[in-house]
Amino acid sequence: MTTTVRLQREPFDAAKEAAALARGRTDIGAVVTFTGICRADENGEPIAALNLEHYPDMAEAEIGRHVEAAFKRWPLLGVSVVHRYGRIAPGEGIVLVVTASSHRQAAFAAAEFLMDYLKTHAPFWKQVEKASGKTGEKIWVEAKASDDSAADRWAPAPTKRETAK
């Protein structure tokens, strides 16, 4: 199994990362690549850019813990996660998750699981740089309850005793 967790300021090349994960392997039958991209609007308002603050050492450790959990849960053959920080312009990638497995189900599920946990558990904070009104004004993006519930659905199923309560 191959694991890459990388934080960087520079843009990434999703196709290159996916190719690197599968290179020289003949056991991999499925590669899922997810790219989160900076939109030009936030809550209907145009934005100039996103600025991402992060907690450097913890971000790597936390992502690594979730990658480890994904390996325990699905028969994966490789995972790459690249998360950017700093200023990100609309149209640019923010985060990349690549999962590889023998069959598609594990690769799809693990990619979704990792993204749901990254959004709610990886220590990154987005700040919007406004493009209208007070141009250049910076506003912190608020966490969404829908992201919390997306992550919650991966929690282990309740035990019989808990269900009986």
Partner 1 sequence: MKVRYFAWVRERVGKAEEDLDPPAEIATVHDLVAWLARQGEGYAYAFENPGVVRSAIDKRHVRADARIAGAKEIAFFPPMTGG
Could you list the residues that contact partner 1 (CB under 8 A)? 36, 52-55, 57-59, 61-62, 83, 94-95, 115, 118-127, 140-143, 147
- The residue behind tokens 């992060």 is 54
- Give the nearest distance from C-beta 25 to partner 1 in angstroms: 27
- Residue 61 Cβ, how far from partner 1 at the closest point, in Å? 5
Q: Could you count the other beta carbons within 10 Å of the beta carbon of residue 103?
A: 12
CB of 119 to partner 1, least distance (A): 4
As measured in angstroms, the least distance from the Cβ of 20 to partner 1 is 22
Indicate the pairing of strand 124-130 with strand 45-54.
antiparallel
Alpha-carbon Rg for the chain in angstroms: 17
Q: Closer to partner 1 by CB, 1 or 125: give it.
A: 125
Alpha carbon distance 94, 85 (integer Å): 8
Closer of 27 and 53 to partner 1 (Cβ): 53
Take residue 27 and report the two structure tokens written for it.
């056991």
Tell me whether residue 27 or residue 57 sits nearer to partner 1 (CB atom).
57
Instruction: Answer for the pair 119, 147: CB distance below 8 angstroms, yes or no.
Output: yes
